[in-house]
């Protein structure tokens, strides 16, 4: 009986050490990846300070801005929900960053006197396609923590692709300034989610951007010490 009691205590102790080790590893993984995704509100003001006088926006430019406002809101709302579901800090920090991205787009809408500057409540969107996508992403990301990280990577994959398209359709220096800044932030976010997947032995295959572009983005973080690219994170 004494030997059984000692064995049980040793087993409980070993389990506790293993649990603590895994918890510390997860915290370290989160900490390493959050270096490149922390939000800085001052960067929004820096962007606004660099706006220059331009001609009025084209119909296409205005439509792209309105769409990107909802898309950045989509990212913010999904990450907020997934943080509440899984309590993974990577979602909390990137939620804050996406809020800055959305506000940067809104600042452009205001600058050009475009009326669509308001936002609906959490999880609500004017664009029906984005509303449907939000519903699908919430369902997918709620299945498991691995699916949650994959959902984050998919959102950034989509965001980068749409920003690429927006950039090709404008020569407006103010729009290019904001789009390029947000895209750099999305590079950081994509890398963060891909790294989280890597920590649990999984890989991500891009859906929207090309494999070549994806490879270049992820490779750009190699040897960067986790700093990633300078951007509105």
Banded pLDDT at 223 (limits 50, 70, 90): low
Banded pLDDT at 47 (limits 50, 70, 90): confident
Q: CA-to-CA distance for 49 and 207, rounded, in angstroms?
A: 36
- In this model, does residue 30 exceed pLDDT 70? no
Q: Hey, what are 116's tokens?
A: 């669509």
Residue at 7 is within a domain? no
* Burial state string for 120-134 with b = 16 or more CB within 10 A and e = fewer than 16: eeeeebebeeebebb
Query: Measured between alpha carbons, how far is residue 228 from residues 140, 170, 186, 199 in Å?
Result: 27, 26, 11, 18
Residue at 11 is within a domain? no
- Nearest Cα to Cα of residue 139 among 73, 72, 78, 74: 78
Quote the percentage of the chain above a pLDDT of 70: 76
pLDDT tens digits for range 77-130: 999 999 999 999 999 999 999 999 999 999 999 999 999 899 999 999 999 999
- In this model, does residue 20 exceed pLDDT 60? no
Range of the domain at 92: 35-219
pLDDT attached to residue 230: 42
CATH of the domain at 178: 1.20.1260.10
Residue at 15 is within a domain? no
- Least confident window among 31-45, 69-83, 105-119: 31-45
Residue at 139 is within a domain? yes
Banded pLDDT at 3 (limits 50, 70, 90): very low
Average per-residue pLDDT in the chain?
83
Residue at 228 is within a domain? no
pLDDT attached to residue 49: 84
At which residue do the structure tokens 């800044």 appear? 181
Residue at 30 is within a domain? no
Q: What is the mean pLDDT of residues 54-67?
A: 96
Residue at 21 is within a domain? no
Residue at 82 is within a domain? yes
pLDDT tens digits for range 122-180: 999 999 999 999 999 999 999 999 999 999 999 999 999 999 999 999 999 999 999 99
Q: What is the mean pLDDT of residues 174-195?
A: 97
Give the 3-state secondary structure of the chain: CHHHHHHHHHHHHHHHHHHHHHHHHHHHHHHHHHCCCCCCHHHHHHHHHCCCCCCCCCHHHHHHHHHHHHHHHHHHHHHHHHHHHHCCHHHHHHHHHHHHHHHHHHHHHHHCCCCCCCCCCCCCCCCHHHHHHHHHHHHHHCCCHHHHHHHHHHHHHHHHHHHHHHHHCCCCHHHHHHHHHHHHHHHHHHHHHHHHHHHCCCCCCCCCCCHHHHHHHHHCCCCCCCCCCCCCC
- Total count of domains within the chain: 1
């Amino acid at each position: 009986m004494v030997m059984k009691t000692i064995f049980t205590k040793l087993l409980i102790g070993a389990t506790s050490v293993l649990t603590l080790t895994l918890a510390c590893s997860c915290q370290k993984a989160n900490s390493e990846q959050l270096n490149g995704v922390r939000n800085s509100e001052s960067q929004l003001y820096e962007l606004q300070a660099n706006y220059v006088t331009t001609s009025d926006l084209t119909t296409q430019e205005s439509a792209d801005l309105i769409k990107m406002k909802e898309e950045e809101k989509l990212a913010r709302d999904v990450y907020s929900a997934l943080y509440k579901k899984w309590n993974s800090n990577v979602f909390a920090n990137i939620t804050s960053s996406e809020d800055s991205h959305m506000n940067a787009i809104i600042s452009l809408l205001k600058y050009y006197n475009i009326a669509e500057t308001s936002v609906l409540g959490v999880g609500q969107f004017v664009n029906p396609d984005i509303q449907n996508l939000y519903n699908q992403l919430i369902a997918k990301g709620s299945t498991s923590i691995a699916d949650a990280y994959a959902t984050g990577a998919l959102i950034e994959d989509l965001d980068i692709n749409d920003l690429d398209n927006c950039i090709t359709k404008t020569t407006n220096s103010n729009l290019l300034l904001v789009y390029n800044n947000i895209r750099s932030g999305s590079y950081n976010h994509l890398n963060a989610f891909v790294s989280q997947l890597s920590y649990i032995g999984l890989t991500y295959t891009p859906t929207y951007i090309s494999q070549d572009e994806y490879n270049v983005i992820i490779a750009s973080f190699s040897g960067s010490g986790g700093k990633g690219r300078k951007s509105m994170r």
